[in-house]
Amino acid sequence: MPDIEAGRYLYCLVQADEDATLETTGVDGESVSIVVADGIGAVVHACDGIYDSADLAQIRRWLVRHQTVVDEAGQAFGTPIPFQFDTILKGDDDAVREWLREESATLERALTGLADHWEYRVEVVEVDPIDDEALIERDERLQELDERIGDAEEGTAFLLEKQFDQRLAERRAARRESLTADLEKRLAVEAREVHALERSPSASLANDVVGDSSSDGGDTLCRLTLLAHEDDEGAIGSILDDVAANDGLEVRFTGPWPPYTFAPELGDEGDGTATATDPDPQS
């Protein structure tokens, strides 16, 4: 465990005046304050160690509270630069101010660049999968294999069935890739950035925070994350409505979230959340 005599648990950075306040409680009920320097505010609470527990439910409660503070800061001050759970700066408020001043140019560019932009998550699920017959009707190779299987002897039929199943899987994958590519292209017109995510998200606390979950039935065709201006949310919703109008498809759209995926890397964690290296963070 890192040795921290005095530290500041860091939630996010916002554009703020010297007298800025945020009336909320943080992780473990701690009192939250805003340390400001050069128009940039660090939303923090005082701490003397990291938050660690073998109790997963406790960690989830901490994480949800962390996210709540970031959300409230975003509502009060505009798009924040969010930090990952358990990012701690060694030192007191003066140390935080010193760091803010040293990095003011970089932080100001980041906050200005993200202003009024938020993260959105999209999941397209095939709740009523297209049946094999429909795919066969659209593919000459599948039709040929299907006919040969009916006329073949047992051994040959077995090999042909393997080819048939492989071709069927390929056609399903091609359909999925085509749908994803088309959707990414359409969303890119309205969003500033669009990135594909793994179709089956691993269970994680971070995914809980941004509303990711395993699909309740059906096959996930694609999962995307977007960075978009808040004024473009309606246009994005219209595109997704068009997709959802297709028989058998369901679209799950969550947000706006603080831009966790798109926040600049201010440290060495490299996980898409903003982290800082000076003065000596522990996370």
| Residues near 262 by beta carbon (within 8 Å), at least 6 away in sequence | 114, 117, 119, 193, 227, 272
Establish if 165 belongs to a structural domain: yes
Same domain, residue pair 154 and 218: yes
- Which H/E stretch holds residue 14? strand 7-15
Mean pLDDT by 10 residues, the chain (283 residues): 79 95 94 96 93 92 96 96 93 95 93 96 82 73 77 80 82 81 94 87 50 62 94 96 88 93 67 34 37
Which positions ≥6 away from 141 have C-beta within 8 Å? 167
**DSSP code, position 267:** S
| Tally of structural domains, the chain | 2
The candidate with the shortest Cα–Cα distance to 33, out of 120, 98, 112, 97, is: 97
Q: Which domain holds residue 195?
A: 118-257
Do 65 and 147 lie in a common domain? no
The answer to whether residues 202 and 72 belong to one domain is no
Residues 131 and 192 in one domain: yes
CA distances from 157 to 151, 153, 161 (A): 8, 6, 6
For residues 124 and 11, state if they share a domain. no
Asked if residue 82 is part of any domain, the answer here is yes
Say what the pTM is.
0.76
Q: What is the pLDDT of residue 142?
A: 78
pLDDT given at position 205: 45
Task: Tell me the C-alpha to C-alpha distance, in Å, between residue 262 and each of 152, 248, 273.
Answer: 55, 32, 8
49 and 85, same domain (yes or no):
yes
Query: Running DSSP on this structure, what letter comes out for residue 213?
Result: -
Q: Distance between CA 196 and CA 184 in Å, rounded? A: 8
Residue 179 domain-assigned?
Answer: yes
Judge if 74 and 126 occupy the same domain.
Answer: no
The 10 Å CB-count burial string (b at 16+, else e) for 21-42 is ebebebbeeeebbbbbbebbbb
In a domain, 109, yes or no: no
C-alpha radius of gyration, the chain, whole number = 24
How far from 219 is each of 20, 126, 128, 223, 250, CA to CA, in Å? 47, 5, 9, 11, 10
- Please indicate, yes or no, if residue 199 is contained in any of the structural domains: yes
- At residue 207, the pLDDT reads 54
**Residue 112 falls within a domain, yes or no?**
no
CB 124 within 8 A of CB 183: yes
CB–CB of 201/121 below 8 Å? no
